[in-house]
Amino acid sequence: MEIDRADGRNPNQLRPLSCSRGVLNRAHGSASWAQGSTQVLAAVYGPKAGTKKNENPEKASVEVIWKPKTGQIGKQEKEYEMVLKRTLQSICILTIHPNTTTSVIVQVVHDDGALLPCAINASCAALVDAGIPLKHLAVAICCCLADSGLVMLDPTKLEEEKMKAFVYLVLPNSILSVLPEESSSVKGEQMEQGLITSVTHGVMSVDDYLHCLERGRAATSKMSDFLRRNLQPQLSSDSSKAG
Amino acid sequence: MEQRLANTWRMTVNEKKFIESALVSGLRVDGRNVYDYRKLSINFGKEDGSAEVHLGQTRVMGIVTSQLVQPYRDRPNEGTLSIFTEFSPMADPSFEPGRPGEFAVELGRVIDRGLRESRAVDTESLCVLAGKLVWAIRIDLHILDNGGNLVDAANVAALAALSTFRRPECSLGGENGQEVIVHPPEAREPLPLIIHHLPIAVTFAFFSDESTLVVDPTHQEEAVMAGRMTATLNTNGDICAIQKAGGEGVPQSVIMHCLRIAATKAADVTVKIRDTVEAYNTERALRKIKRHSAPVALDVSGTLPNLRKNQVKSEDQREVSGSVGTQVEKLKLMNERKNSDQSNDIEGKVVTKSLEQGGTNSKDGNPRSFIGGPSSWNPYSRGVDSDFLKLSLASRDTSKFSKKQKGSQSEKSTQQASPKGSAEDMKAISPATESAKIASQTHGEKTLKDAVKPKHKRKKKAPSAVDGS
């Protein structure tokens, strides 16, 4: 059953993406990521000396501060901070700078659906801009499930509110290997098949969830192409801003 | 403790000496003159009431929201204005999350005094029900990048956001007029705030050498300076606030000199703010008209417009675009049939010309090219299908009131009518609504032809009301 989306996209179409890096002057790394009307600004400072009391000093730690557009920080913001922190910790190489803290500050500029994936993408781009060593990049996407069972990608705020359930998925970047025969595998499975983070809202059946996962995976290849193209040209001319 | 010391940015002695000695000779590190402001640019966000200001490297975002609350006991007829400043840790490595530091509090207070206590925003117009419900305006200022002189940038951000903010219209209803109905923006156009004047803050930095002072210090100059003063003035010559909290002592003559400089700077900044707000308002008004005419642009140009405008229903677009090619032919045929009236000939030529022009897809171009059309379109001169006429007048009628709900309803009704009728009818109806909507566009532009139209409308109101509903 075809559902007409308000802005005329088909269910598998993402909103136009735009990413600009190096937007702030004081921060070591910064990026602004926009998906349609949703826009998020992320800044990275680090690595800074010392870790918090409850963090492991033998590894680097990541600290996330989420700033909503208006109002006070509540539980929703704390949850986003936690998800973002765990996601970024899994992509940073934590053994390189032990006993340091990298701060990631996320500012919501406009929220029109798929806010957390937008923030994750922005933070990833900001980390690259700051030159923090990463294992691989992460691309985040939101899939929502309509009552009819149709899976739609990248909903707007109105669509998110109407849907039965939606899930935020963070997947590793698709691999561009110099050696085409070898591909990194983790425990026999392809790395590209992995899933870093998944946050669901609402009730969905297991089949629907796996369906969303497939769709999300297909879309992330497009997003990781965009990310790669966006990040590549400036890498050579970047100078370190830390210190 | 040691970690915090290790992480703070401290200026080296060499840098300090360099900045100070350059200032003695009247040179600033970034090449500006002593009394020059950095480049100020104001950008607006997608929502009303959100502005981002760039003052050189300093970046501040201001967001205004409103809420209905109970008023204060001692002021039952006035709304409230509150300012929240967020020193985001992204702006400066020394800003820490959590409780605002003393500088953040000071900044909030300076802006608050300038805006609220000088009565720049009219709070009495924010009263809905005296003693019971008033509008509380909340301004959130997010400091995104600290390049120095946060007070001035934050002040401009607050003013820009307030100037473009629109609050929902509300009316009193219910049995004894005690119920407040808040109208959503789709139903009734939201209202702007009444701002009497724009208080502009100008910051001066004093250095240990008595005669040196600079306007709009960068963060490096701020690290070197010995004292600062912020003067908030408006273009009427009123001083709204002066803040000089400690620091180096400064002679009176210097203070008077600063105030005079501040007056000229305030005038410049006010002009800048007014111009950008004007530009934003005209763009916003254009956007509203575009929402009506988006299907029109589609017919004429045959290319899909920017699909991010949620108001245009996707069904309309698909149906209309499907018949573009046939419509062009149909219109040409129609125009040939109208050869009796000379004015109609002109109209025909204008219509086909604009259809050919359609490739450029200039939404501004369309109303200009169609101005000739509606004035010469005399609905009584030819044997026109009455249904065609009613529908066109109905959609013209409803869009005249610029109620988007009704407009979209009439679009729906015309589109629903078309699949019901025969294929021919559909093609006849859609160009009619197209030309009718073009007529409504010219309404927005208020030409002399408007004076002629009301006569026809009043006569046709009865049948169109039946159709339009």
Nearest C-alpha in A relative to B10? A243
Q: Using one digit for the tens of pLDDT, what is the confidence trace for B17-40?
A: 999 999 988 889 999 999 999 999
pLDDT at B318: 44
pLDDT at A31: 95
pLDDT at A191: 59
pLDDT > 90 in chain A, percent: 44
pLDDT at B450: 54
Of B57, B61, B89, the CB nearest to A25: B57
HSE-up of residue A24 (Cα within 13 Å, Cβ side): 31
* Contact call for B88 and A105, based on CB within 8 A: yes
Q: How far apart are CA B136 and CA B81, in angstroms?
A: 6
Spacing of C-alpha A76 from chain mean position: 17
Over range A183-207, report the average pLDDT: 75
Q: How far apart are CA B45 and CA B51, in angstroms?
A: 6
Say what the ipTM of the complex is. Answer: 0.85
**B335 burial via Cβ count (<10 Å: 0-12, 13-18, 19+):** middle
Classify residue A114 as left (phi > 0), alpha (psi -120 to 50) or beta.
Answer: left
pLDDT at A36 over 80: yes
pLDDT at B309 over 60: no
Chain B residues near any Cβ of chain A (below 8 Å):
2-3, 6-7, 45-47, 50, 57, 59, 61, 63, 65, 86, 88-93, 97, 138, 140, 142, 144-147, 219, 304, 307-310, 313-315, 317
Highest mean pLDDT among A238-242, B212-216, B332-336, B403-407: B212-216
Specify the higher pLDDT residue, B5 or A14: A14
pLDDT at B5: 59
Mutation test of the interface with chain B: which of A26, A44, A158, choosing the one with the most B Cβ atoms within 10 A? A26
The answer to whether A32 touches A72, Cβ cutoff 8 Å, is no
pTM: 0.71
The answer to whether A213 touches A169, Cβ cutoff 8 Å, is yes
Domain spans, chain A = 17-176+194-231
* Contact call for A49 and B7, based on CB within 8 A: yes
From the CA of B429, how many Å to the nearest CA of chain A?
Answer: 24
Work out the mean pLDDT of chain A and round it to a whole number: 85
Over range B335-347, report the average pLDDT: 45
**Of A184, A97, A173, which is closest to residue A136 (Cα–Cα)?**
A173
pLDDT at B176 over 90: no
Under CATH, what is the fold of the domain A17-176+194-231? Answer: Ribosomal Protein S5; domain 2 (3.30.230)
The answer to whether A227 touches A139, Cβ cutoff 8 Å, is yes
Q: Using one digit for the tens of pLDDT, what is the confidence trace for B65-87?
A: 999 999 988 988 899 999 999 89
Residue B288, token pair as written in the block: 């509203």
